[in-house]
Structure 1
Amino acid sequence: MNKLKFTLGPVYPVVMAGFVLILLITASRLGLALWLSERVSATDGWLTVFASGLRVDIASVCILLLIPAMLLSLFSGEHLAGRVLNYLLRIWITAALWFVAYMESATPTFILEYDLRPNRLFIEYLIYPKEVFSMLWTGYKFELALSLAVSVISLVLGWRFSGYLVSGLRYPKWYWRPLILVAVVLIGALGARSSLGHRPLNPAMVSFSSDPLMNDLVLNSGYSVLFAAKQMSSEASAFSYYPGMPKEEIIAEIKASMVVDKGAFIPGSRPTLANHYASYQGKPKNIVILLLESHGARYVKSLGGIDVSPNLDKLMEEGWGFTRMYASGTRSVRGIEAITTGFSPTPARAVVKLGASQTNFFTIADVLKSNGYHTQFVYGGESHFDNMKSFFLGNGFTDMQDLPRFENPQFVGSWGASDEDLYKEAHQQFSRLSKQEQPFFSLVFSSSNHTPFEYPQGKITPYNQPAATVENAVKYADYALGQFVEQAKQSDYWDSTVFIAVADHDSRASGSLPVPVGHFKIPAIIFGGGIEARQDNRLASQIDLPPTLLSLAGISSQNPMIGNDLTRDIPVGKQRAVMQRGKNFGWMKADNEVVVIRPGQGISTYAYDPQADSLTPANISDADIKRAHANAMWGSLAFKQGYYQALPDYQTTAPEPASLR
């Protein structure tokens, strides 16, 4: 070891620190691979995971330590500047060891929750320390203790280790230093790039499987998080990840896929802007969206799931229930995006969180506001979470009813007031507005079905043990919803309101499929005064719900939404579901043919088996592939070109086409 120290001279601390970091990450990867051995074997990925993983780790270490190595090459020595540099280097190495150790120790818990390594979600949650720490303290005490222990141990050992690394070094003569610097830059830069090609190393280069978690296993968690942070600084676009497609073809395919008379399109710079005519022509009705946190179809017996949602099952019989409704994403903001704007999912964050959509972006709240509606958001937590408050207030919502405005909630958990408190507040709001004869639109967002699954005890018979499980939380959320519906039936506003109970997404979109279709299936039931009971077996997407609700409420408008008005007959060929999982885009037809588009892997086609929840490679027509491709590109194109900007007037004045009468 002393001989190596003598040979490497001033760069010895950096080389040894890098070696230890790679050992630490490799040990973590080995543990994760053994834990996930069935999935690694299923992809025949043992060699790839470790060989490509080593490539990523070397690049990560080079990125992390290149600047310190350059400084040491030029300025190290026994003089004052050299001693200061060594002290700063010790801090850097210690911080690097802590960061790597902490990120790898946090990885198993993150995988259990999201079936992926820590990524941009990890960063986004750090923005809300109050809510997240409360959640962790309540439901993840062991994980918190482990993270604290890892942090203390890594900091103490890292500081001692760094002290050994900088002691007894041999420093070269000044005339050797430029050569050492050149060598360090060449080796470090090549290692960091890990490629002689046009583009440096990125996750797409080491992706090898249709199982997203296996591709993530190749990465290390520090790299995954830092790469996500870099990507967040320049928002993702489909044009950066998917095969190219001319703008004119995208627009033509999207317009052809819409169930809109050709004469309804409005000439101008917004290609999908069209006159949309309500099927209901009576006095405009209120609209209430009951957005159910993480309430996938697998928790609804009538949709093939387990028996923990008896009230939703009852509503499926009493109302207009959709048996083939699919979410557009895997996060709440993606569900909010779909249900309030009808906007297509993209590889970027949902528009709720994008800077350019915080004002002047189309929402049905803006449409309804221009038609004299009171528009509000009712939420048991803090409405600033996930940027909801900013987006809503900038785009048509006028009233935020969140936890600080609730009066004496009976139960408050990590994510806010219980669903019973939420629906109590909503009922009070609706009753007040009804007495004022004020038409209203309200988005009511539940939160009880969210880790760590806190809810008032004694309300339900637990489905399983312990009490804080997702199944029990779902059962409580369903109980609270049932209580509200029974109360609403006796209210003054029932007959004049169109309600929809719909999930934002499933609780977890896990599994080895590139797009786990079964985890996108969600309950959606429209009910209220005048809504006839029916089972609707058509394939539908969340983006179809906003135009449908406007139509049921009697609101005609000019708007850019491409979703189907489900009160109309929808040709089988135009029924589809759009699904976004991370950067992977899925498009499914009514006959269960599926097109998947993935970064760096192009377009794949499958046949989906709902019973087995499996995708089998299959041939699909070029026309369908082209339409799916256009749908994958549309959201990014529309966002960049401003096709989804709000309008000053949403009134429709043109006569309704005969084909829609």
Structure 2
Amino acid sequence: MEVIKKVSPFLYLVAFYVSISFILRIILFFHPITQASFTWIDTLNLFIFGFLSDFFVFVLVSGFLWLYLILISNTKYFKPYGYIIFGLLVALLLYVSFGNTILNEYGSALPKIATAFISIKAILFGLLLFLPKYRNQIRYWLFSFVIFLYVVLILQNGISEYFFWNEFGVKYNFIAVNYLVYTNEVIGNIMQSYPVIPLFSALFICAGLVTYFIVKKSKNYIESIPSFVQKIKISGIYLLFFALSLLAIPALSTKENSQNMFANELQANGLYKFYVAFMKSELDYFKFYRTVPNSEAFAQLKQQISSISGESTWRKIKNEAPENHKNVVLITIESYSAEFMKMYGNEKNITPFLDSLATKSLVFTNLYAVGNRTVRGLEAVTLCFPPTPGESVIKRKDNKNKFSTGTLFKQKGYTVKFMYGGDSFFDNMGDFFSGNGYEIVDKKTFEPNEITFANIWGVCDEDMYNKAIKEMNKEAAANKPFFNHIMTVSNHRPFTYPNGKIDIPGDAKSRDGGVKYTDYSLKKFFEMAKRQPWFTNTVFVIIADHCASSAGKTELPADKYRIPAMIYSPELVEPRKYTNLMSQIDIMPTVFGLLNFDYQSKFFGQNVLKPDYKPRALIATYQDLGLIKDNVLTIISPKKTVKQFRLTLKPNQKVASDFQIFYDQIPLTKERTDLVNETISYYQTASDMLKKKKYQKIN
């Protein structure tokens, strides 16, 4: 009985959480958007299984509460332990504040967050250590704050689930995960759409009243701190329920098997749905976006890619000239906006080498990245495939044995490698590329003497290129053509690189410095490459993975997707500008065309040098899917919404007409139905092929 009293904070909070969840289910059950009739079995299941899911989910999320309560004691403040612990906290604070930690390497707000957290911890510990007379009062207010925090989060989650249902008619899915990525935009939307001040005022008042009740009923925990034996018993009970919850929650989710989709959603626990969405990284196109019959979607796609037939993108690519098995080196540059380059109007001279190389290359002046994350860029140049709702294919479970550029090169007898200066475990790159036939060369493969500089993201670009040259020399010695895909890392926050290389110090953590060092490293790479016997027999493809920033005034600001791209091969490609609109997914099919490859293709990307290519570009976030064509941007979004904007050039008199980037995006007054249908055709067919596993490699 004494132990039961000691777990009263858990009992009251779990009772509050399941009560809020129960009330929320009733509200959503009768919500106007819940347009379904429920059988008595569906109704019984959604409340019984829903209650069990809520209980077990709270057991897991109360882990922080358990840890906080178990660590409450007086003994740690006794001499000399209290002074030792306090000294260690102060030392840690000084180290994080003034030392060069891994947090400083990453940059951004992490060092400030860590400093603030450790400062608060040290101050509170110091107060409890040096003010023993006030220890009980301080502990009481800390206990009240922890309970208040849990109550606020429970209420906040309930309100969030209601508004999410109000908008989408489901519990949390990948859109909710996406909202965490676009925090600024989401907060701005909430501020404009809802009465935030009255809503949060009511929330905090309710949270205060509930906290007062729970603290009053459970404050005996801190007034009479459990003994060590009692804490062992409490921990034993909690850990037992924790283990049971880990088994029960997935099992209960399998009970969401009604033919009534609303019943399944109401039965589900929102927090667990959020977790699943985060891990699964997918958003069902056919549930949330405007669709047409699949046959119509593929028929529409055939108007853009004339050689496909049926409900597939399979087709034969045939060239009249003999195949040319030159080596291919694809370099995707981290966060490299077109506007960094002089030819696009930049006056800072931070890309002198790339500007020079562009004059000797086939330059694609009007190319758009498909997304705003590295994995989207890698997906585009590897799978030549439109971005689909949710996360990139690279980060999904079903990411192996796809039809890819690596697959095609292997069929042609090439050695295929992915080279990355960081740990390829990041963003699931290693799993994806190795699962699609690439050999991985990443930081783990470097010898200590091959690393001259590294930060949180990996070795500097110079070290990566030095390693790449060594690998290519080995490959050339084997008398096999090679395809090497190199992903750079230096142009990424914290923008640190070796000092003494360029006129911007490497420890200045400057974006311009990151860009200029990236350009400098490229120059060094080409200087080394030109001295190798395989150089003249190699095609170099240089393209950014995405722009440096994606924020703008609209859902898809076109200028935030414009990236540089070029193909350099003096023996194969004459320098010129290709000015037609094109997508990142087209770059490698164009390379295959220059090499006169004959092959069976599933690529959505096309050889833009062919006369039947119809200019267009695909750009997207995790949920907004866009098509640029005829100076119109069409965006399809969840809730089956469509927006269209006329792209009106904002001319820069200092920039040549082929390199203009900035446009006003003016809403169309009359819908271009043809462009809406074309947009749907790209994204619906891509989603269909992934869902039905029709984009696997051809054996």
Partner of 1:357: 399
Q: Say whether the 8 Å CA contact 2:288–2:639 is kept in structure 1.
A: yes
Partner of 1:32: none
1:252–1:232 distance in 2 versus 1, CA, 3 Å = farther
Give the gaps of 5 or more residues in structure 1.
1-8, 19-65, 72-84, 96-130, 168-184, 649-661
Q: What secondary structure sits across from 1:538 in the alignment?
A: coil
Question: Match for 1:241 among 270, 279, 288?
Answer: 288
Whether 1:581 and 2:621 are equivalent positions in the alignment is: yes
Partner of 2:665: 615
Residues 372-408 of structure 1 show CA distances to partners (whole Å, capped at 9, x for unaligned) of 1100111111122211111111112135354433552
Q: What secondary structure sits across from 2:429 in the alignment?
A: helix
Q: What secondary structure sits across from 1:355 in the alignment?
A: coil
Partner of 2:184: 213
1:152–1:230 distance in 2 versus 1, CA, 3 Å = farther
Distance between the aligned counterparts of 1:448 and 1:158, measured in 2? 47
Residues 397-429 of structure 1 show CA distances to partners (whole Å, capped at 9, x for unaligned) of 135354433552211121111111111111222
Partner of 1:322: 364
Q: Say whether the 8 Å CA contact 2:172–2:271 is kept in structure 1.
A: no
Q: Say whether the 8 Å CA contact 1:498–1:553 is kept in structure 2.
A: no
Q: What secondary structure sits across from 1:518 in the alignment?
A: helix
Question: Match for 1:627 among 678, 681, 684?
Answer: 678
Distance between the aligned counterparts of 2:314 and 2:107, measured in 1? 48
Partner of 1:254: 301
Partner of 1:647: 698
Distance between the aligned counterparts of 2:549 and 2:296, measured in 1? 35
Q: CA deviation at 1:299?
A: 0.9
Partner of 2:525: 484
Q: What secondary structure sits across from 1:604 in the alignment?
A: strand
Partner of 2:111: 141
Distance between the aligned counterparts of 1:298 and 1:400, measured in 2? 31
Question: Match for 1:458 among 489, 500, 514?
Answer: 500
Distance between the aligned counterparts of 1:69 and 1:224, measured in 2? 9
1:483–1:186 distance in 2 versus 1, CA, 3 Å = closer
Q: Say whether the 8 Å CA contact 1:93–1:162 is kept in structure 2.
A: no
Whether 1:439 and 2:486 are equivalent positions in the alignment is: no
Distance between the aligned counterparts of 1:290 and 1:431, measured in 2? 17
Whether 1:594 and 2:640 are equivalent positions in the alignment is: no
1:561–1:466 distance in 2 versus 1, CA, 3 Å = same
Name the amino acid aligned to 1:615.
Q
Q: What secondary structure sits across from 2:577 in the alignment?
A: strand
Partner of 2:382: 340
Q: CA deviation at 1:138?
A: 9.1
1:187–1:644 distance in 2 versus 1, CA, 3 Å = closer
Larger radius of gyration: 2
Equivalent runs, 1:234-633 vs 2, <5 Å: 234=280, 235-258=282-305, 260=306, 262=307, 265=308, 271-278=312-319, 281-306=322-347, 307-358=349-400, 360-406=401-447, 407-462=449-504, 467-528=508-569, 529-571=571-613, 574-589=614-629, 591-600=630-639, 602-611=641-650, 612-618=662-668, 619-633=670-684
Q: CA deviation at 1:312?
A: 1.4
Residues 450-490 of structure 1 show CA distances to partners (whole Å, capped at 9, x for unaligned) of 1111111111112x997211111011001111121233233
Residues 80-118 of structure 1 show CA distances to partners (whole Å, capped at 9, x for unaligned) of xxxxx9xx89926969xxxxxxxxxxxxxxxxxxxxxxx
Residues 163-213 of structure 1 show CA distances to partners (whole Å, capped at 9, x for unaligned) of 45999xxxxxxxxxxxxxxxxx999979954668993566979x99xx983
Distance between the aligned counterparts of 1:69 and 1:401, measured in 2? 43
1:522–1:570 distance in 2 versus 1, CA, 3 Å = farther
Q: What secondary structure sits across from 1:472 in the alignment?
A: helix
RMSD: 4.2
Q: CA deviation at 1:533?
A: 0.3
1:364–1:225 distance in 2 versus 1, CA, 3 Å = farther
Instruction: Give the TM-score normalised by the residue count of structure 1.
Output: 0.68
Q: Say whether the 8 Å CA contact 2:496–2:506 is kept in structure 1.
A: no
Q: Say whether the 8 Å CA contact 1:403–1:416 is kept in structure 2.
A: no
Q: Say whether the 8 Å CA contact 1:12–1:165 is kept in structure 2.
A: no
Q: CA deviation at 1:600?
A: 2.8
1:602–1:148 distance in 2 versus 1, CA, 3 Å = farther
Distance between the aligned counterparts of 2:595 and 2:138, measured in 1? 63
1:228–1:213 distance in 2 versus 1, CA, 3 Å = farther
1:302–1:227 distance in 2 versus 1, CA, 3 Å = farther
1:186–1:357 distance in 2 versus 1, CA, 3 Å = closer
1:598–1:278 distance in 2 versus 1, CA, 3 Å = same
Distance between the aligned counterparts of 1:515 and 1:224, measured in 2? 29
Distance between the aligned counterparts of 2:494 and 2:271, measured in 1? 23
Deviates further, 513-522 or 408-417:
408-417
Q: Say whether the 8 Å CA contact 1:344–1:634 is kept in structure 2.
A: no
Q: Say whether the 8 Å CA contact 1:518–1:610 is kept in structure 2.
A: no
Name the amino acid aligned to 1:584.
D
1:601–1:93 distance in 2 versus 1, CA, 3 Å = farther
Name the amino acid aligned to 1:542.
Q
Distance between the aligned counterparts of 1:616 and 1:12, measured in 2? 54
Q: Say whether the 8 Å CA contact 2:497–2:506 is kept in structure 1.
A: no
% identity of equivalent residues? 26
Q: What secondary structure sits across from 1:318 in the alignment?
A: coil
Partner of 1:99: none
Distance between the aligned counterparts of 1:584 and 1:577, measured in 2? 14
Q: Say whether the 8 Å CA contact 2:379–2:385 is kept in structure 1.
A: yes
1:160–1:285 distance in 2 versus 1, CA, 3 Å = farther
